[in-house]
Copies of this chain bind each other. A is one copy, B any other.
Amino acid sequence: MHISLDYHSDVPVYKQIVRTIEDAILSSELKKDDGLPSVRKLAFDIKANPNTIAKAYFVLQSKGYVYSKPGIGYRVASPSKRSFEERLEELDKTLERIVIKMSRFSLSKEEIKKRTSEIVEKVFDDGCN
């Protein structure tokens, strides 16, 4: 699983990790009982401090996405359908915010639709990211 981080973002690193893994679980990229990379390994891989990873995993555990056993590591728990829908609505809202911004730049409805359409095409042309 690939975790892309933006260290210059305002979103704290641990939250970026949480969201990435959350999404991977909700989208079934990570399935029940799949193992997560170990705290130390992931820390090394993304050049972060183990504590930061630990915090991300701790949050994921609090939210019920994963469980951990001493000496075994973290594994994904069974996801709930509900969170899946919630996440989609969240994405919709973010999308809406962008469209509003675009509309303020005096782009017409048709221009925005064209723009978004092109982006969707582009994403699917680039292959199944």
Number of copies of this chain in the oligomer?
4
A46 interfacial by beta-carbon distance below 8 Å? no
Whole-angstrom distance between the alpha carbons of A15 and B99 in the complex? 20
Decide if B105 touches A123 in the complex (CB within 8 Å).
no
Closest to A105 in B: B27
Least CB distance, A31 to chain B, in whole angstroms: 13
Closest to A13 in B: B70
Decide if B96 touches A91 in the complex (CB within 8 Å).
no
From B62, B87, B116, contact of A120 by CB (8 A): B116
From B87, B98, B109, contact of A95 by CB (8 A): B98
Report 20 cross-chain contacts, Cβ distance below 8 Å, ordered by A residue: A23-B101, A23-B104, A27-B106, A62-B62, A91-B98, A91-B102, A95-B98, A95-B115, A95-B116, A96-B119, A98-B98, A99-B116, A99-B120, A100-B129, A103-B123, A103-B129, A109-B121, A112-B120, A116-B116, A116-B117
